[in-house]
């Protein structure tokens, strides 16, 4: 396969889905992944194929190292490795820290942060061998500023920021760029818990006066894939001026 390839984790909906479609339209072979919404993953495959793109389904839990290993074995068989890794898989948890169970914490940590570690670890050897690659981590402004009643979520996103900066230094000699996008309020299912009054109040707090769309995030992800190689180790805020 002569096409460049990309893995987008958590791509059945929201930002991940928008990224997968954008990459497919840009001519990449896209490996699409999710843990539970397999029907949505199939619908994404149909959409990619309908626009002339190509993709491979990789259902699995990226928070499980054994499943990540199996996914990358399949990638290696098909393309030898990926050129771009977009770590997007993530879940939210709202509430007081004292109400959070050990199981809640473990699930959040595995999905939001450990998945980034596992996928980076699996993707890097190929990238190093060809002296080229891009890793883009989808994070949150709360990883920078912290959010009340989202302390654990904020901690996982702060972890992504630290991993991004450190890994960028480690991989720069191999011409591999590692950056993160600290998203603000994006109009996805993660924010579906908000009613219309809450949405309006939140939009008023954002200097841009609105939520961003998943497609806008996908546009930035694509731009980072063609940005100068000297741009690495950056936490790029996309929050409408919120912080």
Q: Catalytic residues, which ones?
A: 153
User: What tokens does 80 get?
Assistant: 């030898």
Q: Quick one: three-class SS letters along 154-218?
A: HHHHHHHHHHHHHHHHHHHHHCEEEEEEEECCECCHHHCCCCHHHHHHHHHHCCCCCCECHHHHH
224 and 136 in contact (C-beta within 8 Å)? Answer: yes
User: What tokens does 56 get?
Assistant: 């491979």
How far, in Å, CA of 35 to CA of 187, rounded?
Answer: 21
How far, in Å, CA of 234 to CA of 76, rounded?
Answer: 29
How far, in Å, CA of 166 to CA of 184, rounded?
Answer: 23
97 and 146 in contact (C-beta within 8 Å)? Answer: no
How far, in Å, CA of 218 to CA of 187, rounded?
Answer: 13
Q: How many Å from the N-terminal Cα to the C-terminal Cα in the chain?
A: 43
């Amino acid at each position: 396969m002569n096409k460049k390839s990309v893995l987008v984790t958590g791509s059945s909906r929201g930002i991940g889905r928008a990224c997968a479609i954008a990459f497919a339209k840009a001519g990449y072979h896209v490996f699409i992944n999710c843990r539970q919404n397999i029907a949505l993953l199939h619908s994404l495959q149909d959409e990619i194929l309908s626009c002339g793109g190509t993709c491979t389904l990789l259902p699995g839990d990226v928070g499980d190292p054994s499943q990540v290993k199996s996914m990358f074995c399949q990638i290696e068989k098909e393309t030898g490795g990926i050129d771009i890794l977009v770590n997007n898989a993530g879940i939210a948890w709202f509430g007081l820290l004292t109400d959070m169970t050990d199981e809640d914490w473990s699930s959040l940590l595995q999905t939001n942060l450990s998945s980034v570690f596992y996928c980076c670890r699996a993707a890097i050897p190929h990238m190093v061998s060809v002296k080229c690659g891009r890793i883009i981590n989808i994070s949150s402004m709360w990883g920078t500023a912290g959010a009340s009643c989202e302390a654990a979520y904020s901690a996982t996103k702060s972890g992504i920021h630290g991993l991004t900066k450190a890994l960028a230094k480690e991989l720069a000699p191999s011409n591999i760029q590692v950056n993160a996008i600290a998203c603000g309020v994006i109009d996805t299912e993660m924010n579906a818990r908000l009613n219309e009054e809450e949405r309006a109040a939140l939009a008023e707090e954002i200097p841009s006066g609105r939520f961003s769309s998943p497609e806008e995030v996908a546009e930035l992800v694509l731009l980072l894939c063609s940005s100068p190689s000297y741009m690495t180790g950056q936490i790029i805020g996309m929050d409408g001026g919120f912080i």
